[in-house]
C-alpha cells in the first residue's frame, strides 16, 4: 500500500483559523490573516473542535494518491460521500500485471493460504484466457476477485477527514482500511501537524466507546 499527499490547500491550519475568526470580526479577511500568530491559530482550532463548530474546516482540502489497496477497501472508502474519487478503470486498464491482497488471518493459516493463492491464480488465468479470446475487459473482469489491487485519487476536506478518521481509525474497523487511514494521517501531519494529530478514533473525543463492543482503549458508556 502506498499513500501520497499530492496536493493540499496551502497553510491549511491558518486558513481554517482565518475563516473562523473573520466570521466575528470587523476586520477584512486579509487583515485577520496577517494578525493571527501561530499560537492563536492553534488555540482557535482547539476551540473550534471542542465546541463542535466544524464548518471552517471545510475550507481546506487534501488530495491523496492511493495505490495497492484491495477493491474491498476501495468499496468501503467510497461510502464516505463528502469526498471526490477517481479510481482506475477495469474497463480500460488490463489487470494482467496487478497484484492482490492477502489478509493476515489467511496468511497465518497455511492450509487455507495455498488454496486462496490458487483460487486467485485460477481467476487471473481465466481472465487472461477470456481477454485473448476477444472478450472485452469490461466483461472479463467479472471473474476477478475483490482481492485484486486498485489505485485511485481521493480529495477530502478537513471536516470530512476528521469524521472519516473518527470511524476508520477505530481498532474495530477492518485492518486494511485502518492501515490506509493511518498512512493518510501521517501524510496530513507533515503539512498540518495540529490537524493531523486530531485525526483519531471518535472515542478519544467522546471519552467512551459507543460501539457494540469496546476494543479496550475506552470503556463502554454506562447506561
Return the closest-CA partner of residue 167 out of 105, 80, 60, 82: 80
pLDDT tens per residue, range 45-70: 999 999 999 999 999 999 999 999 99
Query: Taking all residues of the chain, what is their mean pLDDT, rounded to a whole number?
Result: 93
Cα atoms in the 13 Å half-sphere on the side-chain side of 176: 22
Q: Which three cell numbers stand for residue 168?
A: 476508520
- CATH for 2-85+149-206 is 3.30.1360.170
Q: How far apart are CA 103 and CA 107, in angstroms?
A: 6
What mean pLDDT comes out for the span 129-153? 95
Domain ranges of the chain: 2-85+149-206, 102-143
β-strand partners of 220: 209
Write out the catalytic residue numbers: 168
The model's confidence at residue 223, banded by pLDDT at 50, 70 and 90, is: low
Q: How far apart are CA 187 and CA 61, in angstroms?
A: 13
pLDDT tens per residue, range 119-132: 999 999 999 999 99
The model's confidence at residue 207, banded by pLDDT at 50, 70 and 90, is: confident
- Tell me: pLDDT of 89 over 90: yes
Amino acid at each position: 500500500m502506498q499513500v501520497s499527499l499530492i496536493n493540499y490547500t496551502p497553510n491549511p491550519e491558518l486558513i481554517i483559523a482565518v475563516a473562523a475568526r473573520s466570521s466575528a470580526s470587523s476586520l477584512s479577511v486579509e487583515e485577520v490573516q496577517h494578525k493571527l500568530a501561530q499560537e492563536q491559530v492553534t488555540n482557535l482550532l482547539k476551540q473550534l473542535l471542542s465546541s463542535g463548530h466544524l464548518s471552517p474546516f471545510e475550507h481546506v482540502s487534501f488530495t491523496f494518491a492511493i495505490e495497492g489497496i484491495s477493491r474491498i477497501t476501495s468499496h468501503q472508502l467510497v461510502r464516505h460521500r463528502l469526498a471526490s474519487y477517481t479510481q482506475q478503470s477495469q474497463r480500460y486498464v488490463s489487470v494482467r500485471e496487478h497484484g492482490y491482497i492477502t489478509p493476515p488471518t489467511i496468511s497465518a493459516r497455511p492450509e487455507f493460504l495455498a488454496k486462496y493463492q490458487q483460487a486467485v491464480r485460477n481467476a487471473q488465468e481465466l481472465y487472461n484466457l477470456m481477454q485473448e479470446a476477444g472478450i472485452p475487459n469490461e466483461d472479463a473482469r467479472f471473474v476477478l476477485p475483490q482481492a485484486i489491487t486498485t489505485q485511485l485519487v481521493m480529495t477530502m476536506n478537513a471536516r470530512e477527514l476528521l469524521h472519516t478518521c473518527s470511524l476508520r481509525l477505530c481498532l474495530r474497523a477492518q485492518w486494511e482500511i485502518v492501515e490506509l487511514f493511518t498512512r493518510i494521517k501521517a501524510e496530513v501531519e507533515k503539512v498540518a501537524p495540529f490537524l493531523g494529530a486530531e485525526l483519531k478514533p471518535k472515542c478519544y473525543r467522546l471519552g467512551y466507546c459507543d460501539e457494540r463492543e469496546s476494543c479496550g482503549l475506552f470503556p463502554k458508556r454506562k447506561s
